[in-house]
Amino acid sequence: MSEAPAEASVPGPLSAEERDELRRHGILLTSVQELYNWGRSHSVWPLNFGLACCAIEMIAASMARFDIARFGSEVFRPSPRQADLIIVSGTVTKKMAPHVVRLWNQMPEPKYCIAMGACAISGGPFKQGYNVLKGIDRFIPVDVYIPGCPPRPEALLHGLVQLQEKIRQQPLRGPDAPRHLRSDLPCDATVPELGAEDIEPPFSPEIWKPPTLVRPDKA
């Protein structure tokens, strides 16, 4: 629960205990921001998009036993225009990376990304391969990382709950406002292309910086 800054002329925000006390008397106090975030955090529509092994566990999460519908995300949308969340579920190869980024660009804001599984996070067991992208976070801003190979459906549900928590914490104004409410941030991610030797660019500089390697004896 984020709280608006107190101003001089209005009384300060109520504490959580005071609001609980009021709720017991049948009075519900909320802010537009809280109501808005509460609503959208409980109806995150994922893109119906599977890449590899993890996609099977993603399907399993939407089936009867794990039942992702309990968290409001059972509406898997085939079109990126109708989706709020892309679950990058599996190995992203360099041939596939432009398509994944293009799908991301086609999704309307506010949008979120979950990197599901070791491959989507870093390339996983296939990291040595010349054809495997070493993490989708080189092109798309990732909100939640779910480790595992593949992660269990429960892990995906936990990731989704973490994302919901993140959505509920998002202020609508100020420097921490989400991307779509800020004009100073680019709205499109860079779409890579297959170049002569590698995809170009190999990563999107606005989103990802290569780690600076420092030798231990020079540190």
Partner 1 sequence: MMLPDPASTGLARVRKIEGSALGLRTPAFAPEEGAGDLLEVSLGPHHPSTHGVFRMDVVLDGERIVRLKPVFGYLHRNHEKLGEGTSYLGSMPYTDRLDYLNSMTNNWAYAIAVEKLAGIAVTERAEYIRVILAELSRLLNHTCLAGFLMQDCGCSGTPLMYAFREREKILDLFESLSGSRMMCNFQRFGGCRVDPSAEWLAATRKLVDGYGAFLDEFEALLSGNEIVMARTQGVGRLPAALAVNAGVTGPMLRASGVGHDLRKVDGYGVYPRFNFRVPIGREGDVYDRYMVRMLEMRESISILDQALRGLPGGPILDPKSKQRGLRPKAGEAYGRIEGPKGEIGFFLVSDGTGNPTRYRVRAPSFVNLTILEDLCLGHSVADAVIILGSIDIVLGEVDR
By CB under 8 A, residue 63 contacts partner 1: yes
Instruction: Give the residue with the Cβ less far from partner 1, 65 or 70.
Output: 65
Phi-psi domain of 206 (left: phi exceeds 0; alpha: psi -120 through 50; beta: other):
alpha
By CB under 8 A, residue 55 contacts partner 1: yes
At 33, phi and psi to the nearest 5?
A: -60, -45
Distance between CA 92 and CA 98 in Å, rounded? 10
Interface segment toward partner 1; rule CB under 8 A; list 125-133, 136-144, 159-167, 190-198? 125-133
Q: Is 191 exposed, middle or buried (0-12, 13-18, 19+ CB in 10 A)?
A: middle
Among 25, 65, 70, 209, binds partner 1 (CB under 8 A): 65
Interface segment toward partner 1; rule CB under 8 A; list 27-35, 45-53, 166-174, 211-219? 45-53
Nearest approach, Cβ of 127 to partner 1 (angstroms)?
A: 10
Smallest Cα–Cα separation from 27: which of 35, 38, 18, 36?
18
Would strands 193-194 and 199-200 be described as parallel, antiparallel, or unpaired? antiparallel
Q: Yes or no: say if 72 and 165 are a contact pair by the CB < 8 Å rule.
A: no
Strand order in the sheet with 85-89: 85-89, 112-116, 144-146
The interface with partner 1 within residues 170-189 (CB under 8 A) comprises none
Among 57, 88, 139, 142, binds partner 1 (CB under 8 A): 57
Instruction: Give the residue with the Cβ less far from partner 1, 58 or 142.
Output: 58
Among 37, 44, 46, 49, binds partner 1 (CB under 8 A): 49
By CB under 8 A, residue 192 contacts partner 1: no
Amino acid 115 reads: A
By CB under 8 A, residue 96 contacts partner 1: yes
Q: Please tell me whether residue 57 adopts helix, strand or coil conformation.
A: helix
Among 99, 179, 180, 182, binds partner 1 (CB under 8 A): 99
Total of chain residues touching partner 1, rule CB under 8 A = 32
Which positions touch partner 1 (CB under 8 A)? 48-53, 55-57, 59-60, 63-65, 78, 90-91, 93, 95-96, 99, 103, 125-126, 128-132, 149-150, 152
